[in-house]
Each structure stands twice: as structure tokens, then as C-alpha cells.
């Protein structure tokens, strides 16, 4: 198993940060490793909500379904993603600080089949992908921030 762990601070308020990040419909906007993401079904984002996600890994496109398994707004969300060659458990935690919000991102990746054999060799690349994702989240949040006084 490969573990990715990153932390970043954004100026975006806690509740807004949580709402944006927990809704994996937005995933393709901030994670450069995601080609597509869409919510399955209607209703608000909550425990049990599912998302169709297409992971882009080199030339490969890996379809996955992510399900919110733990939902504690605005503090924590856990999603489990399952695909034919990969299972991922993504945990995002959020903490209010004077500067805005600290986001901690942890992903446990378990590759199946031949990918499981080469996963240790891919570890540096996977860690870069995790860092790019959390930096993309902070950038997307700063881009979506309302101007002061609005």
C-alpha cells in the first residue's frame, strides 16, 4: 500500500473549504490526475453519496466509483474509491486557523494485479501526484474566493 500525506493552508473559510472539497464533482477542477468527475444521483452531498471518477495515469484512464463513507461537516470527510486496478481511501480533514483553513489530505492507495507489484517503484511519482492535488485544491479555493466585502 502507498500512503500519500499532504497539508496546506488556504485563506478560504472552513465551511466553504469543506463544502468544495467534499463534493468530488469538483475533483477534476483541482486534481490534475483526474480526467472526469460526476456525482451519481440526486440529493445533497452526504454519507453514501457516490461519484464517477476517471483517473488519468499516464496514457491510462482508470474508471473508479468513490463513495463517501464518513461525513462530519465541516471537519472531516472520507471517501473510498474502487476501480479494477486500484482501491483508494481518501481522507480530508479541515481545521479553522486565523489564516483560514488547514487542509490535511491522506490517501491510502492499494494497487491490484501487476500494478501492485510495481507500486513501490511508482512511490515518488505517486507522492508528486498527491502534492499536486493538494496544491491544486488550495489554488482552486483561492480562485473561487469571493472578493473582500461581498
Which residues, listed in sequence order, are joined to residue 38 by a DSSP beta bridge?
A: 52
User: Mean of the per-residue pLDDT values for the chain?
Assistant: 87
The backbone torsions φ and ψ at residue 122, rounded to the nearest 5 degrees and listed phi first, read -90, -5
**CA 121: distance to chain centroid?**
23
Structure pTM? 0.85
Q: Where are the domains of the chain?
A: 2-144
How many residues in the chain?
150
- If DSSP states are collapsed to H, E and C, what string results for 48-102? CCEEEEEEEECCEEEEEEEEEEEEECCCEEEEEEEECCEEEEEEEEEEEECCEEE
Instruction: Summarize pLDDT for 3-58 with one digit per residue, the tens.
Output: 889 999 999 999 999 999 999 999 999 999 899 999 999 999 999 999 999 998 77
The pLDDT of residue 144 is 64
Consecutive H or E run containing 149: none
**CATH architecture label of 2-144:** 2-Layer Sandwich (3.30)
Amino acid at each position: 500500500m502507498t500512503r500519500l500525506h499532504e497539508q496546506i493552508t488556504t485563506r478560504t473559510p472552513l465551511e466553504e473549504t469543506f463544502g468544495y472539497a467534499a463534493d468530488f464533482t469538483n475533483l477534476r477542477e483541482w486534481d490534475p490526475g483526474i480526467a472526469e468527475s460526476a456525482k451519481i444521483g440526486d440529493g445533497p452531498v452526504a454519507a453514501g453519496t457516490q461519484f464517477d471518477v476517471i483517473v488519468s495515469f499516464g496514457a491510462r484512464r482508470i474508471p473508479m466509483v468513490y463513495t463517501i463513507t464518513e461525513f462530519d461537516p465541516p471537519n472531516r470527510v472520507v471517501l473510498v474509491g474502487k476501480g479494477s486496478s486500484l482501491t483508494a481511501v481518501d481522507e480530508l480533514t479541515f481545521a479553522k486557523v486565523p489564516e483560514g483553513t488547514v487542509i490535511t489530505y491522506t490517501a491510502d492507495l492499494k494497487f491490484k494485479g501487476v500494478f501492485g507489484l510495481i507500486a513501490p517503484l511508482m512511490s515518488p511519482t505517486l507522492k508528486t501526484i498527491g502534492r499536486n492535488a493538494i496544491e491544486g485544491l488550495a489554488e482552486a479555493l483561492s480562485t473561487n474566493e469571493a472578493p473582500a466585502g461581498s
